[in-house]
Structure 1
Amino acid sequence: MSLQSLQSLLLATFHLLTANYFLLPSPPPLPTNPMKHIIIIGGSFAGISTAHRILKQASKTTAAPFKITLVSRDTHFYWNIAAPRAVMPGQFEDEKLFLPIAEGFKGYPAVRVEVVVGEAVGVDVEGKELEVCVDGAGVGEKRMLRYDFLIVGTGSSSREGMPFKSLGSTEGTREALRGLQERVKGAETIVVLGAGPTGVEIAGELSGEYGAAKKIYLFSRAAAVLEGRPASVSQTALKQLQKLNVDVRVSTSIETITDLPDGRQELTTSKGEKVVADLCIPTYGVQPNSSYVPAQFLDANGFIKVDEYLAVRNADGVFAIGDVSDAEPPQFWFVDKQSLHMAKNMVLTLSGKTPVPYKVSTTGMMGVQIGKKGGTGHFGSFKLPGWLVAMLRKSLFVENLARTVDGSML
């Protein structure tokens, strides 16, 4: 064997015996945070605002991967705050009341948010899946969407199919609103049933617009208009309605409604009086949109039971906000407050931090427009000046529609 061959053999043997001493240890695998899927149900104030708030806040405070899927029965956001005036023809163009929801989320990366037009028809809280009918009509193609967190913000509906809130689809709501406008236009005698905020605003809008050309009644089984509000507010509302020539009947319920051959209706009151109306507009009460939620999570009136974190009791990862929950009365002020808190807590959770409890408001507040120049309201026990309410609600905030849909006002 040559000297050169011997050197090569010794060198190869050396490397073989000492190779492990010179190899660096493999680094441990990097931890991975799985993508969290947040499903938000509801295409109105609660759902839209919460989605925007999470997207905006999370981009600034956490690197945790997540995706939001917004499920909405409606293709368009409906600015129902203006509904009491919109029942009259010619008050608003469609684009002042309805705007496409999906357009409002185009400013975010597609990996972050998806808008699904469909109706929630079932929730499997054990399997963490939401069943969605993608045609929005409760029949047809079904999709099962798996979630890590589910935020329910499906709101409430007006009774008797009135278009004061969404009726289940944008087209259905538009058609109902246009139909009501035509009936208002042709009616000479209109009876508004219920003297809560919606009834008071509608009666005031009708009388303020048509004056003596139409006879407007306002019936309430309660002892006062705006019952449950400070007495001074109720009295002011009554005086303003009477000044507009609204015929207000309190402590009076409707016992029977009889359809007449000419298309009108005859109403018999609890006091034995008969009133013939061309149009009746019921405004009393709302019902929560919770039919798809298992019964054990609902109270006796159909509202979803939540705890101090707005979490649905005994349903892991599920939350409910706005009109559909039992946290606070169905009112815009409370919806916005809950949305703000829900977004904050969701971002804390995504960041691995502890969420904070929600503080239920103990201060009642309300503002109602009565005609285009009047109004009343209160904050707690403090009565708001009528001129201030009328000035603030003059446009019924329709200028905020676009900024609500695209999140720019949040």
Structure 2
Amino acid sequence: MAKTVVILGGSLGGLHVAHALLKKGDKDLKVVLVTKNTHFYWNLAAVRAIIPGQIKDEDIFKPLESALSRYPAESWELVIGTASAANFDNNTVEVVISADNSSRTFSYDHLVLATGARCPSSTVPWKAMGSYDEAIDNLHTTTARVKDAQSIVVAGAGSTGIEVAGELGYEYGKTKNITLLCSGDQVLGGTSAASAAANELKKLNVNIKYGAFVKESRPNATDKNKTDVVLADGEVILTDVYLPTTGLIPNTEYIPARYLSADPNYRTVLVNDFLQVEGTKNVWACGDVVSKPRAGFFITQKQAASVARNVQAALAGQEPAVAKGPPVDIFACSVGRDRGVGRINDKIKLPSLMVWLAKGRTLALQMIPGYIDGSVA
């Protein structure tokens, strides 16, 4: 009897799993990929795409149809919609279809949760926040605002904030006022790459303001085109463009609460060592919805591969295997278009040239074809 695997999410984790399952060529398996975006979005390059003229839309947005159409038509279905409710007891998931706002119920033998996470602000393009048209419009709007601005404030000194500030400093450090707000006393949470990152930003004329925790942002009362960034200590910074990079919100609202972590502000999916959702036998999760041990590209890749193997094993009546993560914890952060910082296991610092070669030079755009032709899996 034919089996159905429903995958929620068509980004890094979900598409990886879909390819891995479909490449097996099992005629008794159908893969249903549910995603709100018709295109695969290489959001790793969004930090550079906001600089006018650097990256074309077609370089970071690829139609998902082109990724799946290489497989027999009867073996897959691409559903453009958003999961609204999952019932793990009944093996069903409700999906709101984007085209007409109707609702469809999908039954599954196995379910993969790969819906990722979103930015708290809907005005930044670090994640695809909605449909393809919405994502493109958001990116174009941000790029236009960056081009016209004289002052830009980037909030959050984690990896995304460092990369955004670095790209802005590289392009505009001598012509615009670029400020990076860091809530603590060191960028990158004080890891071993912190001082190197700060030094590289200073070379690019980025002003780093420490101890600056953002309380709120609001349109300026006099000029609605400008933004007041209000800090916890009461200071107000007036800027032309405000780019928050702080925090992520897991897209887990459709999942019953008993399968989620207790943190009300960061409700990730609870999984065991097999990346099997706790309390289930046929529901799996990977990527930012798990954030275990942390959110990250290489971690998502490894998790997706493990989930695919375990789903394949379960379909064959075999036991799952413990999920494998990266052999070492590697962190790499580009700082502008010709520099970077990084570390291995928070002890071994990576040379700037090595980080540039591995990431900063292209922001891994050369990896996109693997997600389209399936060679990633």
TM-score w.r.t. the length of structure 2 is: 0.93
Counterpart in 1 of 2:206? Answer: 246
How many Å separate the matches in 1 of 2:179 and 2:199?
14
SS in 1 for 2:121: helix
C-alpha displacement of 1:256: 5.1
The amino acid that maps onto 1:321 is C
C-alpha displacement of 1:149: 0.3
SS in 2 for 1:160: coil
Residue pairs, 1:130-169, within 5 angstroms: 130-135=93-98, 140-161=101-122, 162-169=124-131
- 2:85 counterpart of 1:119: no
- TM-aligned CA distance change 1:296 to 1:396, over 3 Å: same
Q: 1:44 aligns with which of 11, 23, 37?
A: 11
Q: Is the Cα contact below 8 Å between 1:306 and 1:326 reproduced in 2?
A: no
SS in 1 for 2:228: strand
How many Å separate the matches in 2 of 1:226 and 1:307?
29
- TM-aligned CA distance change 1:155 to 1:264, over 3 Å: same
C-alpha displacement of 1:76: 0.3
Q: 1:217 aligns with which of 171, 179, 188?
A: 179
Counterpart in 1 of 2:196? Answer: 236
The amino acid that maps onto 1:382 is I
Counterpart in 1 of 2:242? Answer: 280
Q: Is the Cα contact below 8 Å between 1:305 and 1:327 reproduced in 2?
A: no
- TM-aligned CA distance change 1:254 to 1:107, over 3 Å: closer
Q: Is the Cα contact below 8 Å between 2:12 and 2:300 reproduced in 1?
A: yes
Note the alpha carbon deviations across 1:19-71, whole angstroms, 9 max, x for none: xxxxxxxxxxxxxxx11111111010000011101222x34xxx672111111
Counterpart in 1 of 2:362? Answer: 395
- 2:67 counterpart of 1:104: yes
How many Å separate the matches in 2 of 1:223 and 1:212?
25
- 2:270 counterpart of 1:309: no
Residue pairs, 1:6-405, within 5 angstroms: 34-56=1-23, 58-59=24-25, 65-135=28-98, 140-161=101-122, 162-230=124-192, 233-255=193-215, 257-260=217-220, 261-262=222-223, 263-270=225-232, 273-299=235-261, 300=263, 301-359=266-324, 363-380=328-345, 381-393=347-359, 394-405=361-372
Q: Is the Cα contact below 8 Å between 2:27 and 2:75 reproduced in 1?
A: no
C-alpha displacement of 1:143: 0.8
How many Å separate the matches in 2 of 1:247 and 1:184?
17
Counterpart in 2 of 1:16? Answer: none
Based on CA coordinates, which of the two structures has the bigger radius of gyration? 1
C-alpha displacement of 1:88: 1.7
How many Å separate the matches in 1 of 2:168 and 2:43?
17
Structure 1: any 5+ residue segments left out of the alignment?
A: 1-33
SS in 2 for 1:118: strand
Note the alpha carbon deviations across 1:118-164, whole angstroms, 9 max, x for none: 1111111121111111116xx72111111000001011111211210
C-alpha displacement of 1:278: 0.6
How many Å separate the matches in 1 of 2:131 and 2:201?
33
- TM-aligned CA distance change 1:318 to 1:281, over 3 Å: same
How many Å separate the matches in 2 of 1:220 and 1:164?
18
Question: Which region of structure 1 is more displaced relative to structure 2, 203-212 or 396-405?
Answer: 396-405
- TM-aligned CA distance change 1:326 to 1:400, over 3 Å: closer
- TM-aligned CA distance change 1:256 to 1:354, over 3 Å: closer
- TM-aligned CA distance change 1:140 to 1:310, over 3 Å: same
How many Å separate the matches in 2 of 1:185 and 1:247?
19
Q: Is the Cα contact below 8 Å between 1:310 and 1:327 reproduced in 2?
A: no
Q: Is the Cα contact below 8 Å between 2:145 and 2:241 reproduced in 1?
A: yes
Note the alpha carbon deviations across 1:79-127, whole angstroms, 9 max, x for none: 1000111112211111101010011111111222221111111111121
> For this pair of structures, how many residues does the alignment match?
369
C-alpha displacement of 1:355: 1.5
C-alpha displacement of 1:277: 0.7
C-alpha displacement of 1:359: 4.1
Counterpart in 2 of 1:11? Answer: none
TM-score w.r.t. the length of structure 1 is: 0.86
Q: Is the Cα contact below 8 Å between 2:173 and 2:206 reproduced in 1?
A: no
SS in 1 for 2:71: coil
How many Å separate the matches in 1 of 2:291 and 2:351?
31
Alignment RMSD (CA, Å):
1.8
C-alpha displacement of 1:316: 3.5
Q: Is the Cα contact below 8 Å between 1:195 and 1:220 reproduced in 2?
A: yes
- TM-aligned CA distance change 1:295 to 1:406, over 3 Å: same
How many Å separate the matches in 2 of 1:204 and 1:280?
15
Structure 2: any 5+ residue segments left out of the alignment?
A: none
Question: Which region of structure 1 is more displaced relative to structure 2, 98-107 or 249-258?
Answer: 249-258
C-alpha displacement of 1:229: 2.2
- TM-aligned CA distance change 1:316 to 1:354, over 3 Å: closer
- TM-aligned CA distance change 1:321 to 1:258, over 3 Å: closer
